[in-house]
């Protein structure tokens, strides 16, 4: 089936097919092509990279050759233009590169006309880059992490903050040691090690 088989069909016939597929005015061959092209347009809308879209399209229609799948993708992009957006990042980077090349070229010339072009290109560059976005505060920087040791003392839960453990006096550390380890005394050296960590 040639590519013009569907492109030459009047829009009214295609519209009639969409409105009432069971009484379609299209031949079965053209219905099959139209269904494939609509499917290709949906794939292309989700996967704008053509090689990926072709591979997915061939998975759905296993008997298609690569060239026919590529033709379906090309035809879908042509017939359903409103579904596909241009690659903004590609265009933006291309424009940025072009503006920078113009500025470099004019800077090397050094004439008054070149200085005017540089000024205009700087204005274009500012419009392209835009204002610096406000930096949103990183929520992780604002978080305060506190870690506690829970000790049951006389049927009461006592929270000991690990961040302040090193600041506790040696006598308190000894009491903590007794509460945690059941009477094994902490030595002065152990207390010093705890306070230095």
- Domain extents for the chain? 4-83, 88-129, 148-196
pLDDT at 4: 47
Mean pLDDT of 26-41: 86
**How far is the C-alpha of 176 from the C-alpha of 10, rounded, in Å?**
88
Q: Which residues of 156-195 are buried (b: 16+ CB within 10 A; e: fewer)?
A: eeeebeeeebeebeeeebbebbebeeeeeebeeeebeebe
Q: Is the pLDDT of residue 92 over 60?
A: yes
From residue 71, how far is each of 9, 26, 45, 68 by CA, in Å? Answer: 17, 20, 16, 5
Report the percent of the chain where pLDDT is more than 90. Answer: 2
| Greater pLDDT, 118 or 94 | 118
Question: Cα separation of 177 and 36, whole Å?
Answer: 75
Alpha carbon distance 110, 17 (integer Å): 64
9-23, 84-98, 125-139, 179-193: segment of lowest average pLDDT: 179-193
- pLDDT band for position 188 (50/70/90)? low
Confidence of residue 86 (pLDDT cuts 50, 70, 90): low
63 three-class SS: coil
Q: Which residue has the higher pLDDT, 60 or 91?
A: 60
How high does pLDDT run on average in the chain? 77
Give dist(CA 176, CA 37) in Å, integer: 75
The pLDDT of residue 166 is 77
């Amino acid at each position: 089936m040639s590519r013009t088989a569907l492109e030459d069909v009047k829009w009214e016939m295609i519209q009639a097919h969409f409105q009432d597929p069971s009484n379609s005015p299209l031949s079965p061959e053209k219905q099959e092509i139209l269904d494939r092209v609509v499917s290709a347009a949906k794939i292309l809308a989700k996967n704008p990279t053509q090689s990926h879209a072709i591979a997915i399209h061939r998975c759905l229609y296993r008997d298609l050759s690569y060239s026919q799948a590529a033709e379906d993708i090309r035809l879908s992009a042509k017939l359903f233009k409103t579904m596909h957006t241009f690659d903004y990042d590609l265009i933006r980077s291309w424009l940025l590169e072009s503006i920078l090349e113009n500025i470099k070229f004019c800077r090397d010339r050094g004439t008054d006309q070149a200085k005017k072009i540089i000024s205009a290109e700087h204005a274009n560059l500012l419009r392209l880059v835009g204002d610096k976005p406000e930096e949103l505060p990183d929520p992780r920087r604002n978080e305060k992490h506190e870690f506690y040791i829970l000790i049951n003392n006389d049927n009461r839960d006592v929270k000991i903050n690990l961040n302040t453990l090193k600041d506790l006096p040696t006598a308190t550390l000894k009491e903590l040691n007794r509460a945690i380890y059941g009477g094994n005394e902490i030595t002065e050296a152990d207390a010093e090690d705890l306070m230095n960590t």
